[in-house]
Amino acid sequence: MARDVDFDEADLRALAGPRSFERGRGYLAAVAAVEVGDGWITATVHGTDAYRAELILDGPDGLAGECDCPHGMEGNFCKHLVALGLTVLAEPEAVPRQRGRARARAQELDAWLAALSGDELLALVREQVSENRQLARRLELRAASARGDLVEVRARIRELFDTAPFARYGFVEYADAHTYGEQASQAMSAIAALTAAGRAADAISLSREAMRLLSEAQDAIDDSDGHLGRIGAALAEAHLDACRAARPDSDETARWLVGHLLSDLDDLTGIDPLDYEDVLGAQGMAQVRGLAAAAWRRHRTGWAEKYLMERLAKAGGDVDGWVAVHAADLAPDGSTHLGIARELDTAGRQDEALRWAERGIEEAPDDVAPDNALIDYLCDRYTCANRLRDAVALRHGQFARRRSLAAYRRLRAAARAAGCWQAERERALVLLRADAGQRQQSWYGGPVLVDALLDDGDVDAAWRAADETGAHDRQWLALADQARAVRPAAALGVYLRLAEPLMRQTGNAVYEQLTSLLLSMRDCHRSLGTEDEFTAHLDALRADQRRKRNLMRLLDRHGL
């Protein structure tokens, strides 16, 4: 059976996330003034303030929503929208009926407006303009456009992008940024209307100026919700539409396009040069490529220059050009070499790719560790080519530079594949023993030597190393767990020592750790045949810790 509404609780949870969804359940009683339209549902939801929430039922991606609470203004599907959605789902049969009424009202309104005379419509518009300043601004701008008064239109657009009326102490704060953005959107709409009215050349000029004004304004605005980026993208689209309609001079447009893409203005507009291929034609695009290459030669490490050259080279299938751009600014750790190698792989040029990857290792300075992903790439290539010893050499160098358990494991895997693990293991353990003797530890505590020996399953050697060089409590616990069956007395000593400080702490996580240790102690006593001693220890612990009710319940649950 078809649903009465086009969403359910699962949709709300997916949009909001578990936390906001559960918090939204607590706001059901705060939802008021629900209004259903044809494709939207609005309400006021009372929280810290009274917020206006709107569910959009027929969006391009299905259900969506907007709310003017701080979380919603950041583009999130907030708890207030969840509360509104749950309120709607409580009476799903009402939504289709109310949407039908809203559609009927819209049709009745359209019919009424169509029946009005010209004088009556004019009076109605004047009435609305007198009451709605935003509408008045939009219509004033449309009127100036219709008159062909480009001077007036440009002046009005400059006013709309002026931050002064909204700025406090020279800055437009978050609370005022949305209103500023709405005003700036009016300018964007007016520019787009010029193209529709057959004045595309004027729209080109004004859209470029508007992009510049918007860019100049952005540093003085708290645009946390990204509204300016949406306006910038709309201005870019209006400019492209105007260019397609007016077919401006390709040389001038190419120069403007490259200048724009290499400037700070593109941060807001995100123009893709390839979108202009149909406007510029082959000659214009050739000029774009030439101008871009000249700019890149002047500033080979510039981010904008590199991005533009990379985009153009990719689109044109110019692999050598793409490689040249990146080869001009190589990272010392070989990560750029790896990017080049992968691009060459994609182009089917595997031999060149391998050479670039090897250069990344060879050219890395002595004080810079090669990128781990580059080493992984080369080891994979060497393994496929049966160059197993070369892979081992790379892994040994990687381990020697940073002696971690992860690097030890990679070395072990490569050396086992090459049949030389025993010799490589001895070399690696020499380095780890030297580190342990100098008290060098892994980033999460304890000497890597103990972890490596444990990972090898060499528990006896790991225990000796821990006794000789010291170990982290985490490592002692792992040692005790692995040695419990053959060293129950030694393991028991570890468990008792680790449990001691937990007796003075509280919290469910602590109780879980303590219970786990007690279960391990019980196993040790069973192996030793000293169950009575464990029972006495447990009784004493229960008597001492009896006030910790959660701990007592946990012990009961585990039969302790």
**How far apart, in Å, do the first and last CA atoms of the chain sit?**
54
Per the DSSP assignment, residues forming a β-bridge with 44 are 32, 52
Asked whether residue 100 is assigned to any structural domain, the reply reads yes
Asked whether residue 376 is assigned to any structural domain, the reply reads no
Residue 327 has pLDDT above 80, yes or no: yes
Asked whether residue 548 is assigned to any structural domain, the reply reads yes
Residue 148 has pLDDT above 70, yes or no: no
Residue 324 has pLDDT above 80, yes or no: yes
3-state class (DSSP) for residue 484? coil
Q: Angle of helix 303-315 relative to helix 319-327, nearest 10 degrees?
A: 160
Residue 440 has pLDDT above 80, yes or no: no
Mean pLDDT of 493-499: 95
Q: CB neighbours of 460 closer than 8 A, spacing ≥ 6? A: none
Residue 149 has pLDDT above 90, yes or no: no
Least confident of 4-8, 341-345, 358-362, 423-427: 4-8
Mean pLDDT of the chain: 89
Asked whether residue 178 is assigned to any structural domain, the reply reads no
Least confident of 144-148, 382-386, 540-544: 144-148
> pLDDT by residue (tens digit) across 293-309?
999 989 888 888 988 99
The residue that leads in pLDDT, 73 or 303, is 303
pLDDT of residue 437: 82
Q: Closest Cα partner for 327 from 359, 304, 370, 354?
A: 359
pTM score of the predicted model = 0.61
pLDDT of residue 442: 61
Per the DSSP assignment, residues forming a β-bridge with 32 are 44
**Phi and psi dihedrals of 58, rounded to 5?**
-115, 40
DSSP character at residue 26: T
Residue 224 has pLDDT above 70, yes or no: yes
Number of structural domains (the chain) is 2
Asked whether residue 479 is assigned to any structural domain, the reply reads no
Helix (H) or strand (E) holding 59: strand 50-59
Asked whether residue 22 is assigned to any structural domain, the reply reads yes
Asked whether residue 74 is assigned to any structural domain, the reply reads yes
Residue 3 has pLDDT above 70, yes or no: no
> pLDDT by residue (tens digit) across 83-123?
999 998 988 777 777 777 778 887 888 888 889 898 888 88
pLDDT of residue 464: 93
Least confident of 140-144, 275-279, 289-293, 541-545: 140-144
Domain limit, last residue, from 64, 81, 115: 115
> pLDDT by residue (tens digit) across 353-401?
999 999 999 999 988 999 999 999 999 999 999 999 999 999 999 999 9
Mean pLDDT of 40-65: 86
pLDDT of residue 2: 38
Q: Which domain holds residue 26?
A: 9-115
How far apart, in Å, are the Cα atoms of 499 and each of 59, 272, 477, 550? 57, 62, 11, 17
Sign of CA pseudo-dihedral 420, 421, 427, 431? positive
- Specify the pairing of strand 40-46 against strand 31-36: antiparallel
pLDDT of residue 1: 33
Mean pLDDT of 182-187: 82
pLDDT of residue 125: 82
The residue that leads in pLDDT, 230 or 257, is 257
Assign 39 a pLDDT band (cuts: 50, 70, 90): confident
Domain limit, last residue, from 115, 145, 162: 115
Domain limit, last residue, from 115, 146, 172: 115
Mean pLDDT of 214-219: 88
